[in-house]
Chain A
Amino acid sequence: MGEQIRTVDVAEVTRHIREMCIEANHFLSPDMESAMRRAAETERAPLGRQILAQLQDNLKIAGEDRIPICQDTGMAVIFLEVGQDVHLTGGVLEDAVNEGVRQGYTEGYLRKSVVGDPLLRENTKDNTPAVIHYEIVPGDRIMITVAPKGFGSENMSRIFMLKPADGIEGVKNAILTAVQDAGPNACPPMVVGVGIGGTFEKCALLAKKALVRPADSHSPIPYVRELEEEMLAKINGTGIGPGGLGGTTTALAVNINTYPTHIAGLPVAVNICCHVNRHIVRTI
């Protein structure tokens, strides 16, 4: 067919991931930064405004003094979209990704928050392994997304296996239930990533991917976009507010991703992220 195979040394992947882990933990992406600034301007509750002003100061201090925005520098969630015309050399890709995480978290003064076994719970001391999602895509580039995920909000995430008869009202209830149960625990104002459709695991992944979408983006599907807007308004009407201490800013964005599903099912996953919704992208 004549496509050129492009060779990429996995050491290049390591270098980028190392830098991206450090960057993501000290600087919010522009979409999140402007969402936070807008929230500080529009919040109506006095205490809510005070909290949002503190969070503005926090971002400034984090960048200027090189202190992580949040001490929970997360489990490193990494999406790799690998072009099918890329040939990776120099080692094993998974090892290269984890080496980048190891270097970033140790050299970048980031917290080591990963235990090697969920029940034996011994800290791996270098924040590895990462959670890596691979996709094979057309082309000869590699798109890397680094999204360190904190667990205050991860713990409040939910999956609902609804029935088709539950319909869109069932979906709305599921989203609202997850947000209301999360309340102050998830460090509001939050970003709400929603997956609708697919299978059990696909739905959860859709929700996670919705969180790494720019906070100011919308679904290209008209009714889904309307649902995003309606749910954002509903969530901000719960009164939970900044820090869960009352106010009009409970969520900064509701991002919804959908996928075809089975005739018998309507899976809904709600992945909640705090205001430190870290996601940065590089293409190599």
Chain B
Amino acid sequence: MSELLQFLFSGVTVGAVYALVALGFTIIYNASDVVNFAQGEFVMLGGMITWFAHAAGLPLPLAALSAIVVTAALGVAMNKLMIEPARGAPVVSLIIITIGASIFIQGAAQLVFDKQIHSFPAFSGDAPIRVGGATILPQSLWVIGGALVVFAGLWVFFTRTLLGRAVLATSNNRLAAQLVGINTNFVMALSFAVSAGIGALAGVLATPITLVAYNVGIGFALKGFAGAMLGGMGNPKGALVGGFAIGLIEALTAGYLSSQYKDAAAFVVILAVLFFMPQGLFGRKSADRV
């Protein structure tokens, strides 16, 4: 029983990171119908920049903040330099572009930082908290709390603010949004900034537990995408639930089946979702227009 609880704790922790990545996917997808495969690199950058700045002498909170700001700025730059010039390109081209961006960021991170695995101290110490025979790290609570706060913030943003509705309007019909006076370029830039910032935040929160290296991004991207897909692409609630679900499935796979193949769990979920419910848990149906 306590063993199961332990697996659940670790599943929820890592699931919170996936949920943040999935939320990042959702924001950009909602604004532009682009699935940004470089989403995982934002997580990597969040962790790496924080470690780097901290090692250079910056206090941890300041290092974390600078990591989030720098990553958000890189997100904006990526939109401006790579996504905007390719507007209207076929999906295959956009996949190649965002994968290319992902590879490029990895390669750059190797050079700017290094190829080592890094970590920095947990925010509230490393003393495990005992709950019902299992333990949970204080940092896990930070990660889970972070995911919930970001979700709540996004929910308020998309449903209660004018700007948030402008983002949704842009995704529904770009031309119509322009006609009613929405600055769609600004909306796109904002989406990339927020999405990259959330990715970086995930990296900041998770690194003390999961560690960080230049090549961790693609794994986060795959699992975050699996979460977003499981929940239903474009649905923030789905992204949250889907992300946590992937984390739990992975932790239970590691605990009861094979720790070597825990990374396969996300892929199996992707295939299962594709097979049995292509719309995801909370997705809406769509038909091709002819």
Do A and B bind? no
